[in-house]
Amino acid sequence: MTSSSSLPGQLAEYAELERRLADPAMHADQAAAREVARRYAELTQVVSAARELDTVRGDLAAARELAREDGSFAAEAEALSGRVAELEGKLRELLLPKDPNDAKDVIVEIKAGEGGEESALFAGDLLRMYLRYAERQGWKAEVLDAVESSLGGYKDVSIAIKARASGVWRRLKYEGGVHRVQRVPATESQGRIHTSAAGVLVMPEAAEVEVAIDDNDLRIDVFRSSGPGGQSVNTTDSAVRITHLPTGIAVACQNERSQLQNKEQAMRILRARLLTAAQEQAMRAQSDARRSQVRTVDRSERVRTYNFPQNRISDHRVGYTAYNLDQLLDGDLDGVIDALTRADTEALLAGVQR
């Protein structure tokens, strides 16, 4: 069975969406209209590729017919045959099952792990890398909460990244896992190379309607926020910790000055964590074959290594290696993300064609 079996259904869905978008009543509900427009744009790629494939197949049949009478058309037929194969491959990819979160914005959490202050400094490097990548993509990035270390790194930091059009999850979903760094730390006086790690967790941001949270299931604690080394930076109890009692998931936020703002930020992170937990549970029930993000910050459980002496970046999941670490840390992530996307697509194609 191939993915082409879903083409008639998608063509019919496209026609129905086109009809709905032409109905003025559709636009009375802006949220529904946006969702229909998003799906229509997604299916437009499929429809365009299918129509072009039909046209080129027709041209190929005509060229082959002419080539039987006049050999000068043989080269044209050969070129059209290659174009047909190219379009068939493109259409197969477009018809692959879509990740339902691809159009979503994300919340990224970065946590220092083994390595003490050096790990916290590396977490700061990763934060700047993602902020620069968001800037390059024209996305909006917002720091939701941050716990700084005494040397200017981050013990824990959460950021929200939003896009005006294309989804952020589609590009950043592969970043989750343990990131390992090899370099001479700023705290090293003997010039020895150390290895440390930081953990990255990427979650699709959940809308309130996607995750129902009963207020009775929440325990909300307030406390005084603190800076590096425990130094008090706020004289009021503005920091908030929210615990979701049924799951035990707890989120603390202290970045904002008001208790209300910290509560709102904590709820955003909590919704994202609950949505991620629910989706992972559903995926485990369906299949154990899908890749999951690494939740521990152990040097042996790494997905990527950043080697400063060699200016080398290595992603261990797909065997990707490049010697442009300086550029990558400045936000040039497309190379490694493209490699991971290709590997995921090839795995999906292999599964569909079995």
**CA atoms of 69 and 43, how far apart (whole Å):** 40
Which tens digit of pLDDT belongs to each residue from 272-292? 999 888 887 776 654 443 444
**pLDDT band (50, 70, 90) for residue 296:** very low
Tokens for 176, please give them: 């989750």
Amino acid identity, position 268: R
> Is residue 323 within a helix (H) or strand (E), and if so which, with residue range?
none
For the record, the structure tokens of 273 come out as: 């964590």
Q: How confident is the model at residue 292, as a pLDDT?
A: 44
Backbone angles phi, psi at 156, to 5 degrees: -160, 130
Is the predicted pLDDT of residue 320 greater than 90, yes or no? yes
Q: Are 81 and 60 in contact (CB under 8 A)?
A: yes
The pLDDT confidence band at residue 5, using thresholds 50, 70 and 90, is low
- CA pair distance 315, 5, nearest whole angstrom: 35
Task: Place 99 in a pLDDT band, splitting at 50, 70 and 90.
Answer: confident
**Going by DSSP bridges, is the β-strand pair 218-223/177-183 parallel, antiparallel, or unpaired?**
unpaired
| 205 — pLDDT class (breaks 50, 70, 90) | confident
Q: How far is residue 214's CA from residue 72's CA, in Å, rounded to a whole number?
A: 74
Across the chain, which distance is largest between two alpha carbons, in Å? Answer: 91
**189 touches 138 (CB < 8 A):** no
β-pairing, 177-183 vs 302-307, is: parallel
Starting at the earlier edge strand, list the strands of the sheet with 249-253: 218-223, 239-244, 249-253
- So what's the pLDDT on residue 41? 85
Q: Domains for the chain: give ranges and CATH numbers.
A: 3-94 (1.20.58), 106-346 (3.30.70.1660)
Is residue 294 scored above 70 in pLDDT?
no
Residue with tokens 């009775």: 216
What integer pLDDT is reported at residue 1 of this predicted model?
Answer: 37
The predicted model scores a pTM of 0.74
Question: Is residue 122 a contact partner of residue 195, using CB atoms and an 8 Å limit?
Answer: no
Q: What is the DSSP string of 43-64?
A: HHHHHHHHHHHHHHHHHHHHHH
Give the pLDDT mean for 50-55.
95
Exposed / middle / buried, residue 328 (Cβ in 10 Å: 0-12, 13-18, 19+)? buried
Interval 103-115: pLDDT, tens: 889 999 999 987 7
Residue 288: predicted pLDDT? 45
- For position 33, what pLDDT does the model report? 85
Q: Tens of pLDDT along 223-268?
A: 887 655 444 455 567 899 999 999 999 999 988 888 898 999 999 9
d(C-alpha 305, C-alpha 288), whole Å: 26
- In this prediction, residue 237 carries a pLDDT of 74
The pair of three-digit structure tokens given for residue 76, joined into one six-digit string: 């044209």
As a whole number of angstroms, the distance between CA 146 and CA 252 comes to: 10
Helix (H, G, I), strand (E, B) or coil at 330: coil
Structure tokens at 280: 């992972």
Query: Using CA atoms, how far apart are residues 287 and 283, in angstroms rounded to an integer?
Result: 6
Going from the C-alpha of 328 to that of each of 63, 116, 322, the distances in angstroms are 48, 24, 10
Residue 23 structure tokens: 């109905």
Name the token pair of 55. 């046209």
